[in-house]
Structure 1
Amino acid sequence: MLTYAPVSEAGGVGKTTTAATLAASHARAGHDVLVIDMDTQNGSLTYFFGPDYDRGDPNVDNLVRHLVGRPKGDFHDLAIEVEGGIDLIPSHNMLEDLHEFLLNEKQQAENFGESYSMYHQLHRVLREANVRDEYDVVIVDSAGKAGPILYNALVAVRNVVIPFEATAKGQESIEGLDDLVDGLEQSINVDVGVLSVLPIGYKDTRDQREILSELRESGFPVPVVVGERGSLMEGCWKQQCTPYTYVEEHRDRKRDYELETLDQFDELARHLEREAGLEAPEVTA
């Protein structure tokens, strides 16, 4: 089973688009894919895939209720099928108060002399739902900043993919995330691996070549490097679909550089699958 979270402390680097595109590539290769939206921003996977869902409805069952042990139904009933047969657990506004909810649960447990880990609740929910038996790939799109949402995501998936802007600012975000992962590992005794760094918006400048070289020399895996694709990604958000569907259904002509980008995401998806020992049942042309 392949599990990971696209993570970056820097904003605007394509974290959510990366999650959606890789999920689509895994699904097109024949894998059963679950994506979990734990991003509190409106521009999240739930918006990207565009299902008919009210994230502000306080009465609807949602992931937060399951995380704090107060579900209104079965976990699998939370899933909404979206593009390509991907199952999406949508985001909900209650995520914004998750820290407070988890603190309350921790306090109640301690009052009864019980142990309670605030950061293992997503892992618990997925284990109790036997997600491993039903899906080949699980991707969690979480908040970028340190906190219980990100920590729950990392404890559950144990692996990260890092979308990366090849600039000095982007390099700082990589180093900051490395420190964050190290700190998490030390505090809760969980190993978190970096499956890939994904440079996006690469223009092959001298400075970018140096940064890319430093990344690889530092031991970060960099299977593919994606160029500037602002128009493609903006079109995807406008049409609420992945780049595969956008190129196939919303472009009047095929652009070689966009087809190259799709091939690169496929190459990255196959790399991630190999890391988990997954074989693709089929590949959709």
Structure 2
Amino acid sequence: MQVWAVANQKGGVGKTTTAISLAGLLAEVGYRVLLVDLDPHGSMTSYFRYDPDELGNSVYDLFMPAGVTAERVQELILETSHESIRLMPAATALATLERKAVTQEGMGLQVARALRHLQAEYDYVLIDSPPVLGVLMVNALAACHHLVVPVQTEFLALKGLERMVRTIHMINRARKHKLPFTVVPTFYDRRTQASVNSLRELHKLYPEYLSKAVVPVDTKFRNASLKGMVPSSLDAGSRGVHAYARLLRNLLEPQEQE
């Protein structure tokens, strides 16, 4: 089972869209996929028509005493609009975890512990992380084998990427094996100078980490969200889906070479 986290220390860069798009493409070639929503805003959970304010079971339960048992983990998993994709949903109560993390040890590994119970059931797990460096992002980074960092092609998003890269290097100093990561340009509009200049800057600053795939502005993503469908199920021929398909090929290459 491969675990990929999608994270950036800036909101609005396309994290949820990236995770759901990759999940849809993986599912459509036959993989069993689990999506994990670690963002208190619950955008991924809402995408599939669940209400983070109303759910009785959510990833929040993993952080409660004795929360990580095989039976409990199974109880958290919900169906989605795609038969090969399941969801471990978020709850708004996740926003309270930072205060509790100060007084409880081992909180940074709860998601990794939970996923060990699911090794035989899923081929890929994709984690949607909040845009804040705290216990939830730490859980995502500790659990994953590869990190995907979407970055909007505009100046302020590049500043946020700097913080994220510093965090990755800090995490890597504490890990036995360095966490590989891929920077993915999103919301690219070649008609605007801001997008063109930002993409050029990304090539200059992060050539060894930058994805060959550039995700364009595409209204089909919004249409898919309105229907609660993965983008590739709604329109497999859209520009955005083609970009994520290229990203997926890039991400799978190292595994195919093993």
Q: Tell me, yes or no, whether TM beats 0.5.
A: yes
Deviates more, 1:165-174 or 1:60-69: 60-69
How many pairs align? 253
Q: Does 1:135 align with 2:131?
A: no
The unaligned stretches of length 5 or more in structure 1 are 107-116, 249-257, 280-285
8 A Cα contact 1:233 1:243, kept in partner: yes
TM-score normalized by the length of structure 1: 0.78
Larger radius of gyration: 1
The amino acid of 2:54's aligned partner reads: G
Which of residues 228, 241, 249 is equivalent to 1:270? 249
For the aligned residue pairs, the C-alpha RMSD in angstroms reads: 2.6
Deviations 1:15-65 (A, max 9, x none): 1111111110110111111110111114x11101114x66435xx343222
Instruction: Rate the CA distance shift 1:11–1:88 in 2: closer, same or farther, 3 A.
Output: same
Deviations 1:154-212 (A, max 9, x none): 11114221212112212212211101212233356663221342332332545544432
The sequence identity of aligned pairs, in percent, is 24
Structure 1 residue 149 displacement after superposition: 0.6
Change in CA separation of 1:30 and 1:141 when aligned onto 2, cut-off 3 Å:
same
Tell me the distance in 1 between the aligned counterparts of 2:233 and 2:183: 24
Taking a change above 3 Å as real, the CA distance of residues 241 and 80 of structure 1, as seen in their structure-2 partners, is: same
Matches within 5 A, 1:1-285: 1-42=1-42, 44-51=43-50, 55-57=53-55, 60-71=56-67, 73-84=71-82, 85-106=84-105, 117-127=106-116, 129=117, 131-186=118-173, 191-203=178-190, 205-206=192-193, 208-217=195-204, 218=206, 219-229=208-218, 231-247=219-235, 259-277=238-256
2:2–2:145 contact (8 Å) kept in structure 1: no
CA distance in structure 2 between the partners assigned to 1:68 and 1:260 by the alignment = 42
Q: TM-score normalised to the size of structure 2?
A: 0.86
Q: After the TM superposition, which segments of 4 or more aligned residues of structure 1 sit over 6 Å from their partners?
A: none
Say whether the 8 Å CA contact 1:163–1:200 is kept in structure 2. Answer: no
Tell me, which stretches of 5 or more residues in structure 2 are unaligned? Answer: none
Are the equivalent residues in 1 in contact too, given 2:35–2:125 (CA < 8 A)?
A: yes
**Contact persistence 2:36–2:128 (CA under 8 A):** yes
